[in-house]
Structure formats: C-alpha cells, structure tokens
Chain A
Amino acid sequence: MEKLKYALFTGCTAKQSTPEQMMSTLAVADKLGIELVELTEASCCGASHLQDYDDFLSLVLNARNIAYAEKHGLTMVTICNTCQLNTAMTKHRLDNNEELKARVNEKLGEVGLNYKGTSQITHFLYAIIDDIGLDKVKEMVVTPLSQFNIAPFYGCHNIRPSELQNETHKTAENPYNPRSLDDLIIACGGTSVDYEEKNKCCGFHVELQAPHTSAVLAGNAVAGAMDGNADWMVTPCPLCHLKLDTQTDHLSAAIGRDVALPVLHMQQMLGLALGCSKEELGLQHHVEKVDFV
C-alpha cells in the first residue's frame, strides 16, 4: 500500500497549551506509517471568535491555510475540532459560492496565493477510520486496553453541524449517536462507556465570559463519565481536553460534587494501544495525573 500522506494543520494549542497532543500525533503517525507535512505557514483558524468579529477576514485567513495544503496536493488533516469546523466551513462556503470565492481569491492574489478547492479537509480521527480502517488498527494493536472502561467525549465541532461534518469524511456520523470514537476505543481493545454527555458541549468557548456555564457543562461531562464507571475519558479535541483536564477544582465547585478523571487525547489512547511509551505520548503534561500507565 502506498504510504498515506497528509498536510497537517496543527492549530495553536498543539504548540502551546497541549504539547502532549503534538507529541502523540507524531508518535501515532509514525506507528501507523503516516507521513505528515506540517503546514508551518498556517495561521490561527479564528476559533469561531474571529468569525463573530470579522467574517470576511476569517474566510481569507482560512482559505490561505487551505491554499497551502493545495500547494502540496494533499488532504488537510486537523487535530482540533474547532480548527476542523472553521476550515471545513470556509471550504464549504467558498466551494458553493463563486462570487465569494472570487472575492477571497482577489485578496489571496495580493500575496501570490490562490484557493482552488482541491484539498479535502478531515479530522485525524476520521482520516484514521476512513483511510486506514479500524480493522487494520485492530491488527496493529500490541497493548490492548482491555482492562479499561473508557468514556468517549466527542466535542461539538467534529459532529455538528452534521450536514457539514458528514461532507468531510466517508463514515457517516449521527450527532445524536456518534460511533467513531466508540469504535476506535473498541479497536484499541477497550470498553466504551455510554453516557448522556458524550456528545454534549464542554463549555470551552465561553470560559472567559460565562465561567459558570462553562464549568457546569464540563463538570456534568466528567460526572456523567464517572457515573458510567469510566476509568478515564478520551477526546479528539484539545479544547475539550483543556476544559476537562486542567481545572477540575472549578468544575467540582460549579456542580457541587467532586469530579476528576484522567483525560487522554484520542492520539494518546491509540498510541498506548500501539505500544508507544508514556513519555512519547506526553502523559507527563497532563494536569490531572495519568497514573494507570
């Protein structure tokens, strides 16, 4: 089989507040035989906040990022749900509106770039499921996670709006009954925990302006996973990870109950199953201690 190759849009957190996410992405890609070409020219996606302020600017900046993936002739892989949403949303709007695309390209032309719409954009989770396949992943597992109950936490921007998200990957996902992360847990040998909050919001995006709402949402998620007897949680989104992992004291205070669980990035869970060391996967960078490895 030809080696899989993608353009990697790391997003900002992977280089700052979730270094373990970058480490585990590279470690897992190596194990899976995936080549990642990092888009070092890429800017921030605007995280859905710039979009509230200046829609056109956010379109131009995201189109620029995609244009770099197109230059490589590669599918763009994202490792953050919100990067995925904003990039895929940009692609969707430009591919369906010639006039808007022309306006954006007029700006990109000023810096010698052009958005064509030739690169697909998919989250790493779906790239693995679609292009490698869970059967193949299963065959590659050397350390099955069979002793663990693992609670999947999907993160909004990978599953909603479903119409947009389902354009970006081949395996259809039902936002009310998502399967991708559950299936990956099972492929890694673990038991997936079903709980009400698994497809709900973590509250990250209002952390500054509505800290109580934000903490209640994340607190409820951890509480739901705990009530489902989870040993730990897993998420494909670094923003959900920050919310669930770094401030359990706030979450506990907001919901009036002590909640805390180790939370792994999707790449870290897969890495453990594929035989990566905990140092390679950056488990030492978690605030909530990961003590089961």
Chain B
Amino acid sequence: MSTNTITTQKVNFKVFRFNADEDYLPYYEDYNMEVTSEEVVLDILNRIKWDHDGSFSYRRSCRHGICGACAIKVNGRSTLACKESMKDMVDLFGSELIIEPLSKKRAVKDMIIDKGDFWEKHDAIHPYLISDVHENPEHEHIVTPAEAEELNDADLCIQCGACHYACPVVEINEDFFGPAAFAKAYRFEADVRDDAHDERLQELHQEKQGLWDCVKCFECAEACPKDVNPIDKITKLHQMLFQEGVATSNVATRHAVGFKHSIAKNGVLDEGGMVLYSERAAVVKHIPLALKMFRKGKIVPPWGITKSENLDEIQKLVKSSSTAKF
C-alpha cells in the first residue's frame, strides 16, 4: 500500500500584475501561501483569484494539459500550470516563486497575453495537409506505421506558445517564424500525404523569417511541456533543405557545407577560411575585426594550422560517410 503523505510548505509567490487598460507599468504582488505537495501551479492561480484578488486574470480550460491555455512562466521556466506539480517547482527553485506570463511585453492582463504574433506565424507556414484528394476516393490513403513514425511526435504540439515565447530570436526578429511554427511545418513536411512539400520548404529557407536564423540555444526543447523538441525538428528541416535540393547558396548554407570541406582538408577547422568560404566577397566587412584579433594573436593563417593527426582516416570517412548531395 502506498504511504505517500501530503506535506505542506510555506511559499512566497511574487506574481506579475498588469492591466493594459489602467497600468502604465507592470508590478509584482506578493502572496504568502501554505502549499501542499498535491497541488499543481493552476491550483495556486485559482487560490489567488478566489481567496485574495478576484481581478487576477489568467487563461485556463481543459485542466488536462491538452488545450494549451494555461501556459505561463515560473522562475523563467515555461510551464503548463495545470500539469506542473508545486512540489517539483519548490524542489527546483526553493520557496520563492516568481509567476509571470509567457511574454511580459505582450501582457494584456496579468497572465493573459496577446498571442496574435504566435497565430500569425502559425498560419504563415500553412499548418494543414495540402493534398489533392478526390472527394469520393476509390481507396484509402494508407500511411504505414513507419511513415507515421517519421512525424517524430511533432503532432503532439498543443499550440500553448511555451517554446515560441522562450525563443530569444522571436524577441528580436519580428519576421522569424519561431520554434512552434517550425515544428508544425515539420509535422506536414514529414507527412507522406502532403503535396505542398517544396513550397513550404521554400518559405522555411528564406532568410530572416526561416530556419537559418535559429541560434541553436535549445530554449524551445527545454520549454516544451509535451516533449515535441522543436529544435530537433528544426535540425531535420535543415537537413531536408539539403536532401531535397531546396537549399540555395547563401551565407548560412555555405557555412554549413564549409564545415565538411574544412574538415576534409585539415580535420580541424580553418576558422578564417570558413568565414571567407561562407561570406565570399562580403568577407571584407570582417576585416576590422580580423585585424583586431590578429594583433592579439587570435588569427592563425591557413599555413599555420595544426592539422589533425591521421588525417587520411578523416578524409576517407568524409568520402565514404557523406550522405548530403548539395
């Protein structure tokens, strides 16, 4: 028989408060509460509203981690309030917890944010199956288990926005699709029934909005409450660009391909050579920085590079193991 006992603990909640209609600036309100090990974060939001301040606002609906409405941040960590145990939060962060909306700059009222940009990006990647299916098909379109496996759980996304608002690029570059849209795009790119494959990939290849602006910080993988692992899908889409011949030559694609050439030549990178290979004529803009670094002994000329030992092995492997065609 289980002997789990319910424990209680005092926790100080610092809660983000803001009403776009009335407040010039947001502020934090403190709530000291006795929290039980059985509660989830949503219970605390409810208690703040029911016991302390009826004007406190947040989104909630299914309470089963499937509608994605209650995503907020606790101490900077994205979380679905209805799924996140208070005990885990206290174990992770201690007894002072900061409750904030997913995006402070998009806050409308307390935890409620304007997710307009999220939906705009979501729509932009055509998040649906595009297929020329006859309205009275003669047979089923069978998707084998192995083909379904290719979706790699991308279909588990509940559009909560946790990864989108954890992405540092979304904060800076308003054209960037963001991790949720990429994961959703992958869900259809990996679907054998989809006919818009190349068109969607073309969109994802565009600079500024597309895949190449991802900084590879893994914030999205960490933030996702459903283990969709968006950066894994971003990497797979990158590979798809090359495999399917959609990638065209630009500074980012040359940078990726340049690694292979540099490794084949030296084993290690030729850092200066990589910049030249990626930038071509635009390399001139890096000259002031290169001079600054040269003066500090930070630039090794191509002839001064210490190549990897047993370089022949590396060259043999590059030849025999390369799978990309670009």
Contacts and interface: CB of A to CB of B under 8 A. Distances in A.
A10 B222 CA distance: 27
Given A52-B238, A52-B239, A60-B321, A46 B259 contact: yes
Given A53-B259, A208-B252, A64 B317 contact: yes
Interface in A227-265: 246-247
A41 B316 CA distance: 14
A54 B256 CA distance: 9
Give the size category of B's interface with A.
35 or more
B interface, over-half SS: helix
Contact of B75 (A44, A46, A57, A176): A176
A12 B268 contact: yes
B129 interface: no
Interface string A274-293: 00000000001111000000
B130 interface: no
Contacts of B310: 41, 111
B172 A53 contact: no
Given A17-B293, A57-B323, A201-B168, A52 B235 contact: yes
Interface string B261-303: 0110001110100010011000000000100110011111000
Contacts of B250: 209
Given A176-B92, A217-B172, A42 B215 contact: no
Given A43-B314, A210-B213, A201 B219 contact: yes
A48 to B, nearest CB: 5
Interface in B207-232: 207-208, 212-219, 221-222, 229
A47 B256 CA distance: 9
A interface, over-half SS: loop
B317 A111 contact: yes
A180 interface: no
A48 B316 CA distance: 21
A41 B214 CA distance: 31
B76 A176 contact: yes
B215 A16 contact: no
A265 to B, nearest CB: 13
Given A57-B260, A217-B172, A160 B92 contact: no
A39 B214 CA distance: 31
Given A57-B323, A64-B313, A42 B308 contact: yes
Interface in A168-196: 174-177, 196
A55 interface: yes
Given A15-B300, A64-B317, A217 B168 contact: yes
Nearest to A64: B317
Given A212-B172, A246-B292, A205 B216 contact: yes
Interface residues of A, number: 61
A141 interface: no
Contact of A161 (B218, B235, B268, B318): B218
Given A176-B75, A208-B278, A287-B293, A55 B259 contact: no
B169 interface: yes
A53 B259 CA distance: 9
A42 B308 CA distance: 6
Given A50-B259, A161-B218, A176-B75, A16 B213 contact: no
A195 B29 CA distance: 21
Contacts of A196: 76
B323 to A, nearest CB: 5
B215 A206 contact: yes
Given A206-B213, A208-B279, A246 B168 contact: no
Contacts of B308: 40-43
Contacts of B50: none
Contact of B173 (A43, A157, A201, A213): A213
A43 B321 contact: no
Given A174-B92, A246-B298, A210 B212 contact: yes
Given A15-B300, A51-B235, A60-B317, A201 B217 contact: yes
Which among A107, A161, A212 has the highest number of chain B CB atoms within 10 Å? Answer: A161
A285 B293 CA distance: 8
Contacts of B309: 40-41
Contact of B259 (A18, A47, A205): A47
B75 A177 contact: yes
The 8 closest A-B pairs by CB, nearest first: A160-B218, A52-B238, A201-B217, A209-B252, A50-B259, A111-B313, A54-B324, A53-B256
23 contacts: A16-B299, A17-B293, A40-B309, A46-B263, A49-B256, A53-B242, A110-B317, A156-B217, A160-B218, A160-B219, A161-B218, A176-B76, A200-B168, A201-B217, A209-B207, A210-B213, A213-B172, A213-B173, A213-B215, A246-B298, A285-B296, A287-B292, A287-B296
Given A16-B299, A43-B308, A162-B222, 16 more contacts: A17-B299, A40-B308, A41-B313, A44-B263, A46-B263, A52-B239, A53-B260, A55-B235, A57-B260, A64-B317, A156-B219, A160-B217, A176-B222, A210-B173, A216-B172, A247-B289
